[in-house]
Chains A and B, each alone.
Chain A
Amino acid sequence: MKRRALWSTALIAPLALYGCGSAAAPESSGEGGGALVVWDWKSGDATAESYIEQAKADFAERHPDVEVEFVAQPFDQYYNLLGTAIQSGEGPDVMLFNGGGQLRDRTDALLPLEDYLAEDMERLAGWEAFSDGGHVYAAPVTLQGHPLYYNKALYEEAGLDPEAPAATWEAFLADCAQLEEATGADCFAMGNKEGYGIQFFLSGLGPGVLTSAEYDAWIAGDRDWTSPGVKRIFELWVEAEQAGLNNDGVNSTAMFNDEFALFDGGEAAHVIGLMSDVGHWKEFGEFLDPADVGVMPAPLVNPDAVPFLPYDGGIGYGVAEWTEDPELAADLVRSLTSTAALEAFYADAGAIASDTTIDASGAGPAAAAIVAAIPTGRPALHVALSAETLELMGRLSQQLLSGSATVDDALAQLAESDGAA
């Protein structure tokens, strides 16, 4: 019996010993002196090859003895892997982020960069999505936004003027009815399986609903979820579904890439897409004629609203707070956002780069329209929300479509989640 007790003690001792204190004390550590490790999900793409080459060359010129290693992670696992690295306080020196919630949730692990990047502030656009609490945590590489694309060929087929899309919501609904009757195409291609559809809807159509003051307040963090404007956007989300503007089975249609495939295939006349990466002008232009891909401002629901292009910094490189030589890592970030590198990225990947000095006039009407709208653009509504609120919004938007929640219910829950964040 005595021996049995001894054994039990031996087994339980570690349990008891580690029952106190923390298992997650972040430690500082880094890579060896002459090496920097970069994590991203882009450097493995063929279309990003010349971009990475340019950036490496730019960096090697200034720091010839420093070795830079790019580790391309799979995107769907990226934040999982990064979360684990941050938890252990060890990992890459420089890492790629999506702007907005994903970055803001992890600013603890990032180095404020405004002092290192002061010279680039003018040249690059899209800083807001990488800033939090007055600090800049990453430098934008691409701009990401939510233009409302439309299919000019379908407009023509339906007898509408493809160069004069509807400016108001009423006119837009009338156009959609005409489009559906003449071509059989749905008004919107919509995929909300992942809960992303509502994010694009909110950001894409929000500028036509909220007044300038309401919009600014939202972006600044002063969000009134029960205001008539915000409520109107969510009502539109429900009305669009009930009025049959969307394709069938929105909640089981994946945005990536079933929704975009519907637009590509001419089965829907409009889609709220992206500016860079995927689901954008270049991709649509590969299926439709590039000249048939149009970009229109959000139709005005509220006559007091002035529509503009909603966009933010899309992806950007940040520096880990545990890196050994912050200045060196920040220099690498500067190389990754140099004009030559970004020009290569724009040309090969079709991304709208953050560098405002790049000329994009030769890439078709949609890209030209987007670039022309950048100076007057403002941050997108959904990017200002935390990852947690976005997740909840995705779930609630599915409930709104299936009728198992009301707009008021949903907004109350979102206000609570947003207030807690």
Chain B
Amino acid sequence: MPTGSPPIPAGPATAGPAGDLAPAAARRAARGPRRGSNERFPRAERLAPYLLVLPAVLVIAVFRLYPLALGVNFSFTGDGDRNGQPVGWDNYTALFADPLFTASMRNVGLLVLLLPVAVAIPGLLATFVYLRVPGHRVYRSVYFFPAVLSPVIIGAIFNLLLSFDGPVNALLGAVGIGPVDWLGDPGIAMFAVVGVHIWATFGMALVVFLAGFATLDASLIDAARVDGASLPKVVRHVIVPGLSRTIQFVVVTTMIGMLTSMFGLLYVMTGGGPEGSTYLPEYYIWFQQGQMGRPALASAASTVLFGVMLVVGMAQIAVLRRAGRED
């Protein structure tokens, strides 16, 4: 995301985004006289800050903003016979008329809805590890293990496990439940893939949670226990409030992970199917660009995805900023 706005010329000391309110006000008050003295600085010294940020700004402008502009511009040109010709909003009209694309956007919504599950699982498991359930040392390393496997390997493993005549269905059959077409039923496939994604990535979130627990005051938990609080109550009233910043951080990183790194799993496990039910925008872009030979339409889809990510990113920054203020 391009965040390359230059520093506002307000003196050398600019406040960070997480700066506390009261000191910020104090600094604002102190700026007045300093700005006056600024004008007496020699010209070279006044230009120095800009010169110093120039390389960074240039890198962002040349390698981020410029290609972004090219991409957006490209999305207003045609494909195939109309290659290179301006076509206005045609690609966007085609995009939203394409059930595959709308399905992929709906799946983004589904991911957002499944986010609490993706955060709760590592949170809960980290709680158990923290509370030293028997064997917690083993679990700590075992839980992290899938995080080091590549999505392709994980996808291949679960392709075998979840195949119609695979071990999972054999197990279900043994307890009298009929076989489930995990990757062939459009109502189930997306959940199966998201489930595998959560399994594959929760180890990282677990580590973050454990780090958060390390900052938790153990005496609070002890006190709650002495007062006779049950485990659910300890979790609800002591652990969750104590970890609010950690939870917010995990929410943000998990969301980013779900939106940007499921391509490998989708490619290996479902290829967007069955019935196009597991398309995500990323996969759709790849599919239109390469398989269908419609790069301009793919650019339009990228632009829409960029817009969505921008909104999600802004919302996340807002959440993080608020979390910073609460302290």
Q: Which residue numbers of A lie inside 8 Å of B, CB to CB?
A: 3-4, 7, 10-11, 14-15, 18-26, 77, 79-81, 83-84, 86-87, 105-106, 108, 193-195, 248-253, 258, 387-388, 391, 394-395, 398-399, 402, 404
Contact = CB atoms under 8 A, between A and B. Distances in A.
A77 B291 CA distance: 9
A250 B80 contact: no
B47 to A, nearest CB: 10
Given A251-B273, A252-B182, A11 B65 contact: yes
For the complex of A and B, the 5 pairs showing the least CB-CB separation, nearest first, are A249-B164, A80-B290, A252-B184, A251-B184, A22-B84
B60 to A, nearest CB: 9
B85 interface: yes
23 contacts: A4-B6, A7-B5, A11-B5, A14-B66, A19-B69, A22-B84, A22-B86, A24-B74, A80-B286, A80-B289, A80-B291, A83-B295, A105-B292, A108-B81, A108-B83, A195-B273, A249-B164, A251-B273, A252-B162, A387-B293, A394-B273, A395-B276, A399-B275
A363 B66 CA distance: 59
Nearest to A22: B84
Interface of B: 4-6, 8-9, 57, 61, 65-66, 69-70, 73-74, 77, 80-81, 83-86, 100, 162-165, 179, 181-186, 270-271, 273-276, 286, 289-293, 295-296
A23 B273 contact: no
B275 A387 contact: no
Contact of A108 (B8, B80, B290): B80
Contacts of A4: 6, 8-9
A375 to B, nearest CB: 34
Contacts of A24: 74, 77, 83-84, 295-296
Given A252-B164, A404-B186, A18 B274 contact: no
A21 B86 CA distance: 7
B80 A105 contact: yes
A291 B33 CA distance: 97
Contact of B274 (A84, A251, A391): A251
Given A4-B8, A193-B184, A79 B291 contact: yes
Nearest to A386: B292
A119 B271 CA distance: 43
A395 B273 contact: yes
B293 A83 contact: yes
Contacts of A25: 84
A193 B77 contact: no
A417 to B, nearest CB: 11
A24 B296 CA distance: 9
A193 B274 contact: yes
Given A15-B69, A24-B77, A395-B276, A105 B185 contact: no
A14 B62 CA distance: 9
A44 B183 CA distance: 32
A83 B84 contact: no
Nearest to A194: B271
Contacts of B291: 79-80, 387, 391
Residue from A22, A26, A195, A391 whose CB has the most chain B CB atoms within 10 Å: A22
Given A248-B164, A248-B179, A398-B273, 19 more contacts: A14-B66, A15-B69, A18-B70, A18-B73, A22-B77, A24-B296, A26-B84, A80-B291, A83-B289, A84-B290, A106-B293, A193-B274, A194-B273, A251-B181, A253-B184, A387-B293, A395-B275, A399-B275, A402-B185
B299 to A, nearest CB: 9
Contact of B271 (A20, A84, A193): A193
Given A249-B164, A252-B182, A391-B292, A19 B73 contact: yes
Contacts of A3: 9
Contacts of A26: 83-84
A391 B66 CA distance: 34
B83 A402 contact: no
Contact of A249 (B57, B74, B184, B295): B184
A402 B292 contact: no
A252 B293 contact: no
Contacts of A83: 289-290, 293, 295
Contact of B184 (A250, A387, A388, A404): A250
Nearest to A17: B69
